[in-house]
């Protein structure tokens, strides 16, 4: 049920990102056809991404029905969001075990480098797509994950 509810939002978001940041795909090279599973552990679903500009996929999937992925990235939602915008050090998150990666590490590094090269904030751009409510939700989400100790509550 949750997958069905968020899918129209995910489709809109990925189309906008593809439109505004076409260089992201070029940086991925052969890994455009890699299936990435992005697993925000406290959400009731995972995200399937295939960053192929000719057959772009970004969809919510139940964890028990997730497709085989060439690369998997797992962590708290806000950590993943901050990694998206290069606000967190992925290496530090990996070594502190706040972030789990498996599969094709070259694909993950390519994705990381492509995201690092984007000017601005994908999270802010996405929130702005939904106007004032979107920006308010992003702000509230960020506050809810405040940096007390480690910064990321465990599910």
Q: What is the pLDDT of residue 148?
A: 41
Q: What is the pLDDT of residue 38?
A: 94
Q: What is the pLDDT of residue 155?
A: 45
What digits encode the pLDDT tens for the residues 14-36?
888 888 888 888 889 999 999 99
Q: Which two tokens stand for residue 128?
A: 């702005």
Q: What is the pLDDT of residue 116?
A: 82
Residue 91 has pLDDT above 80, yes or no: no
Q: What is the pLDDT of residue 86?
A: 64
- Helices marked H in the chain — which ranges? 2-20, 23-28, 77-84, 90-95, 105-116, 122-129, 131-144
What digits encode the pLDDT tens for the residues 103-155?
999 999 999 888 888 887 888 888 888 889 888 888 887 777 655 434 544 44
Mean pLDDT of 68-77: 92
Contacts of residues 30-36 at CB distance under 8 Å and 24 or more positions apart, as own/partner, are: 31/70, 31/104, 31/106, 31/107, 31/110, 31/111, 34/70, 34/71, 34/104, 34/107, 35/67, 35/68, 35/69, 35/70, 35/71, 36/69, 36/70, 36/71, 36/72, 36/73, 36/107, 36/108, 36/111
Q: How confident is the model at residue 88 (pLDDT cuts 50, 70, 90)?
A: low
Domain ranges of the chain: 2-122
Nearest 5°: the CA angle 93, 135, 114 is 45
Q: What is the pLDDT of residue 2?
A: 76
Architecture of the domain delimited by 2-122: 2-Layer Sandwich (3.30)
The model carries a pTM of 0.82
Q: What is the pLDDT of residue 8?
A: 87
Counts for the chain of helices (H) and strands (E), in that order: 7, 5
What digits encode the pLDDT tens for the residues 35-67?
999 999 989 999 999 999 888 999 999 999 888
């Amino acid at each position: 049920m949750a997958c069905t509810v968020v899918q129209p939002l995910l489709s809109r978001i990925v189309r906008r990102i593809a439109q505004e940041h076409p260089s992201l795909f070029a940086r991925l090279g052969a890994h455009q056809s890699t299936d990435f599973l992005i697993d925000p552990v406290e959400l009731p679903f995972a995200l399937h991404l295939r960053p192929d500009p000719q057959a772009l996929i970004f969809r919510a999937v139940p964890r028990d029905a997730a497709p085989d992925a060439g690369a998997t990235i797992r962590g708290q939602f806000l950590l993943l969001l901050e990694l998206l915008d290069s606000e967190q050090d992925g290496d530090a998150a990996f070594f502190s075990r706040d972030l789990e990666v498996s599969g094709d590490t070259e694909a993950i590094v390519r994705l990381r480098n492509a995201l690092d090269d984007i000017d601005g904030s994908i999270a802010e751009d996405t929130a702005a797509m939904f106007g004032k409510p979107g920006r308010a939700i992003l702000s509230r989400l960020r506050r809810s994950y405040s940096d007390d100790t480690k910064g990321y509550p465990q599910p």
